[in-house]
Each structure stands twice: as C-alpha cells, then as structure tokens.
Chains A and B, each alone.
Chain A
Amino acid sequence: MGGRVVRMLVVFCHPLQESFAAAARDAALRGLAAAGHEVRLRDLYAEGFDPYVSAAERARHRDPWHTKPEIARDIDDLRWAEGITFVYPTWWSGLPSMLKGWFDRAWVDGVVSTLPPGATRLRPLLTNVRRLVIVTTHGSPWWVNALTGRSGKRTIFRSVRVMCHWRTRCAWVALHNIDRATPDARAGFLRRVERRLARLR
C-alpha cells in the first residue's frame, strides 16, 4: 500500500474533556497513530484560546503575519500541516464559536491567502494542506441537517478549503441524533472514526 507519512494537525474543540467529542478525538488519534502519521494536537478550550477578534486586532488584520506574535503558534502549525482534522460537536448546524474564532483570528493574510497588488481576488497560500477531515456529532437527525444546510461542513469544505491546495481531499465522519444514540451506535461511530483516519493517505 505504501503509506506516506502525513503531517496531520488535529484541532479539537469541546468545552468538556469528559465528552463524547473527546472520545472521538482519541479514536482519531489512534487511527492516525496506527497509520504512522505525524500528529500535532490542538485543544482550543484547554489552551484557553480566545475566539474573539478585538478592535485592536481587527485594526491590524492586514498587517504582515510576522507582526502577530499572539498567533505565532497557529501560524507555525498551519505552515507545518499537510492535513487538518477537526473534531467538534456541530451546534446549530455550524461550528462551535470557539472553532469559528480560530479561523477568524489565526487564518490571516500572508499565511493562508494573499491579495497581490492590483488583484481583486485572493490567492490561496495554504497549499501545503491537501487533506481536510471533519469528525463531528449532531444533536439532530441527518434529515434535519440536510434541510437546514450543513453550514459547518460547508464552511470548512468550501470556504476554508479554497485556501488549501486545489486538489485537497475532504473526509466527513459524522454521528447524527447523538442524544438518542444507543451505546452500540456510539461505539460503532468511534470505530468508524478510527478506521477512517487509519485509512487516510
């Protein structure tokens, strides 16, 4: 099979360490380890990441990336990564605000995109990233999500993906109706997560 080692940035977002999302994260990490990939783990809540873009930060948003020490770690992770795996609960069909704030604050001009002089369209810069994986749970059944538009999935697989390599492949592993899921359904989902990440190339 010839697996090549992928540098995978795993971004975990849930306020509680004792959560099903944390179990999903651990399943993802087991899968990545089994396939021999290189992993960096981010845990936005545990790190005390601030998702709010302040007035001062917004005023500087077009400043060069190297003048932003407050997101130095994030910039380093983004440049290191060849793949990004997001593990989070879907709330109101979208990303939890803590994770949305990671994009708002850390995905900056000069790192993920650039606007060449005279151009009207952004040019993607995060072309080192070729894999985007979402591992997520939903309170509602799949058909509710289908009707209400899967906003979180689109945000990452469309809007964020545009900044990555044009051949970026996306993988989606989701559990629906979590509030009613049986222990078997939950365990089955965790196995699916582990297998999907282990299969990643």
Chain B
Amino acid sequence: MTPVAPGARAEAPPRPVAWPRLGGAALGRGLVTAYLSLIVLIPIAALVAQSIDGGLDGFWTAVTSPLAVSALKLTLISSAIVVAVNVVMGTAIAWVLVRDNFPGKAIVNSVIDLPFALPTIVAGITLLALYGTNSPVGIDIAFTRVGIVVALLFVTLPFVVRAVQPVLLELDQEMEEAAASLGAGPLTTFRRIIFPNLAPAILAGAALAFARAIGEFGSVLLISGNLPKTQVASLFIYAQIQSGNDTGAAAVSVTLLLIALVVLLVIGRLTHWTLRHDR
C-alpha cells in the first residue's frame, strides 16, 4: 500500500486495444479463403463436376480406357524417375554451389533458374534440336520415353537445388567437425548428420518437382512426337479436349489431381517426421 503505485499505474502506457489484432486475424483468414477459393478451389470443383458429367460410370470408363491407363502410368513412372534423379543431382548441385569455390560459380548459380524463365515449348524445341534425329552430339532420344524424362528433368531442375541450398548454407558445420572428432568418416558424417538435416528441404523440393512433372505439357509436347507410347497424361488430356471429349479429359485430370494429392500428403507426413526434433 504505497502511495506510489496508483501514480505509476496512471503513467503506464495505455493498453493496446484488442480489436485490431482479432480483426486483423479474421480479415487475413477471410482474404486467404476467398483468394484460394477463387484461384484454386472453385476451378477444381468445376473440374470435378465436369468429370462426373456422364455419371460415375462415365468417369470410370474414361479413366480405365487402355490409352488413359497407359498415359497415367507413363506420367507417374517418368515423374518418379525425375524426382529420384532430382533428389540426388539437385542435392549434389546445391552442395557444390554452397561448399565449393570455383571461378564462374555465380554464373552457374544463375543458370539453375533458367529452366523457369524459358517458355517450356522453347525448351522442347531446344531439346529436340540437340538430342533429336539430327542430333549434333549423336544422341537421339526424340519420340522416346527417355526423351520425356530428359524434358521433365530440364524443367524441374531448380526445385530441389533451390530448396536445399539455403538449408545447407545455414547448416552448422561444427556438427560435422564434432562428428569427425568422434571418429566419423566423411560418408558416415553425410549419412548420419548432414542428410537428416537436409531431408525436409529435399522432400519439399521433391514434392514441387513431382507436382510440376506430372502436369508438364509444353516441354514434352514436341519430344513425345504424339505417339501412343510416349503420350503422358497432359498430352492425353489435350488430345481428348481436341476431339471434344471434355468429360473424359476432366476425368483423367481429376485422377491425376487425386494421385498428386496422395503423393503430396505422403511427402508431407515424411517431412513432418523428419522435423520431429523441432517440436
């Protein structure tokens, strides 16, 4: 009961009014919901509606037609290969860019993003010119499944590199020195110390690369040569639209989306698991 207390309280700065925070949060949530609805959810809902325009039977028939099945299979297998190669090579490129010093490093670093800047159809033309029938380097992969994979590798290059690079930059190198002083060789150190710390970033890059690969259209358009054996899902869908089968196109698209959703959820779970130590 000192006389100072009431005076001190009177001089204290006024408490911030509560409504701007609450209102801000509500406003933010509303904005995000509206935006996502407009940009993503409503179009997807329309697509789903379109896909079952001919009833569930129509959907099933469209998706199980031999051509649709082979297109989906090719898409998934080539995307899986692309993701696997990206995980290894993307991590290796990120490693070299972060840990090595060599002349021209800044240029190489900028080159990584070029596949994003190039219109994908141009990428297709370029690959066809370089690795096509009249290949100046003697490699002909035009109109083959290998060609599809190469085209997909080209357009998905940056994802894993750009996801891993910042994490590798921030990685505490003393962890590696500690591992060495405890008797770990370089391989053990990579496997038990570095890789587990990079895994969340690698998975994030892999998820993006996978999502991009299964939907890719422009770069594979020319190199596939429009043959049945090299028809990926996106090309199949395009062919269906061309022939006026919008429902069939929508059905395969929705299937593709469902597969993507499942794969992304699995990768999300894996990421969650690799980050268990941060909770």
Answer yes or no: are A and B bound together in one complex: no
Give B contacts to A, CB under 8 Å.
none
Q: Which residues of A contact B (CB under 8 A)?
A: none
